[in-house]
Amino acid sequence: MPLDSGELTFMDLITDTKALAALCKALAHETFVTVDTEFMRETTYWPDLCLIQIAGAEVNGLIDPMAEGIDLKPFFALMNNEKVLKVFHAARQDVEIMVHLAGTVPHPIFDTQIAAMVCGFGDQVSYEAIVRKLAKAQIDKSSRFTDWSRRPLTEKQLTYALSDVTHLRTVYEKLKLELDANGREPWLAQEMAILMAIETYRTEPQDAWKRIKVRLKSKKQLAVLITVAGWRELEAQEKNVPRSRVIKDDAVAEVATQMPQSKEALGQLRALPRGMATSRIGDSLLRAVKEGLARDPATLPHTTWGRDETSESTQAAAEILKLALKVVCEREGLAPKLVANTSDIEAVAESDEADVPLMHGWRREVFGNLALELKRGKAMIGFRDGRVVIAPASG
């Protein structure tokens, strides 16, 4: 596959390191490249990388990371080339794979999904929608959910995969113009700093409990939840299986609330598979429960889960803040979920000192300070000419 002048493509899969190095050498001269991946993770904890798509102004490439003997070092070197901007759409999962395989985060990064939200295209706008809007193109989605691990890949799959990055060039260029015009590039830069932080992709077992939805009534239950969720995370990582293959979320929640301390008690839990109580994994699970029960309550993180319900005044404040957020975002042309989620709003409604993203950086400038003014009675929300408006409180 020679690198001649003119429009260059690598429609045939790159399956050897020499061809990959040639592609990456050519792309290293670009100011930006667009990147996407196809992967499978239905049966694994860590995603299996099946295909890499990359495009510059003239050179496009499809890389087969599953090819025997291929070394992806040239690709990862390009991802770490600070002179070349890496453009993704919804980058987090793509970057997570690269962090797992190479140990580093691609940089610098531009995420078109986040940029679109900053520019008022709505919450988590899909790639197909933004391509229709900005690139005036239609994407054939029929290949999206095919098995990317099977070989050979079909011409239809390859065409679909390559279109993901070729259309992304136009999307990036138009979003960049919009950001330059609206002056919100610094906002996006704050979001990209989070995406490029290695901590964003570290799955710490001690934080796994935060993904479990359960109402707790005591510190002991919280301690058991933390240790059992952490135990499951380690089991899943070590065996490279989905968390649910160890035990499901509802089982983690039931163990936390019931706190079984014997095989008999464990066997009575409805959410656990039959026979688990007498298995090796059952013994391991009971040890995790015991570890949680032995934990010093003073070392536990603060949580409001122990309360049966939020106070009426806090609930009312949260509803007012949600309405105010909608008003502000409509005025500013922003996606509300980018500014604050429900948890952020409820935390601020409860405490002026809430340490949530809403109270930091550009989000605080856009809405966080106003939220505090509404809580303190320094601003009011009401109707004017049939529209909801926010204004300074009189007097």
For residue range 74-120, list pLDDT tens digits in order.
999 999 999 999 999 999 999 999 999 999 999 999 999 999 999 98
Q: Tell me the pLDDT of the chain (395 aa) as tens digits.
A: 334 433 444 456 899 999 999 999 999 999 999 999 999 999 999 999 999 999 999 899 999 999 999 999 999 999 999 999 999 999 999 999 999 999 999 999 999 999 999 998 887 788 999 999 999 998 877 777 889 999 999 999 999 999 999 999 999 999 999 999 999 999 999 999 999 999 999 888 999 999 999 999 999 999 999 999 999 999 999 999 999 999 999 999 999 999 999 999 999 999 999 999 999 999 999 999 999 999 999 999 877 554 445 578 888 999 999 999 999 999 888 889 999 999 899 999 999 999 999 999 999 999 999 999 999 999 988 888 778 888 887 75
Largest CA-CA distance found in the chain, in angstroms, rounded? 75
Q: What is the CATH number of domain 205-299?
A: 1.10.150.80
Whether 8-201 shares its CATH topology with 205-299 is answered no
Residue boundaries of the structural domains of the chain? 8-201, 205-299, 312-392
| Long-range CB contact pairs, 112-115, < 8 A, 24+ | 112/87, 112/88, 112/168, 112/171, 112/172, 112/175, 113/89, 114/188, 114/191, 114/192, 114/195, 114/338, 115/175, 115/176, 115/179, 115/188
pLDDT of residue 305: 52
pLDDT of residue 11: 52
pLDDT of residue 307: 45
pLDDT of residue 7: 42
CB atoms near residue 294 (< 10 Å): 9
pTM for the whole structure = 0.86
CA distance linking residue 1 with residue 171, whole number of Å: 28
CA distance linking residue 244 with residue 233, whole number of Å: 10
CA distance linking residue 262 with residue 217, whole number of Å: 21
pLDDT of residue 144: 79
Asked if 272 and 249 touch (Cβ cutoff 8 Å), the reply is no
CA distance linking residue 16 with residue 38, whole number of Å: 18
Domain spanning 8-201: CATH 3.30.420.10: yes
Q: What is the CATH number of domain 312-392?
A: 1.10.150
CA distance linking residue 269 with residue 277, whole number of Å: 9
pLDDT of residue 143: 77
Environment class of 51 (CB within 10 Å of its CB; exposed 0-12, middle 13-18, buried 19+): buried
SS3 at position 50: strand
pLDDT of residue 130: 93
Asked if 122 and 335 touch (Cβ cutoff 8 Å), the reply is yes
Nearest alpha-carbon partner for 333 in 143, 120, 79, 114: 120
Across the chain, the runs of DSSP E, i.e. the strands, are 8-14, 32-40, 48-55, 59-63, 85-88, 109-111, 379-384, 387-392
For residue range 313-348, list pLDDT tens digits in order.
888 999 999 999 999 999 888 889 999 999 899 999
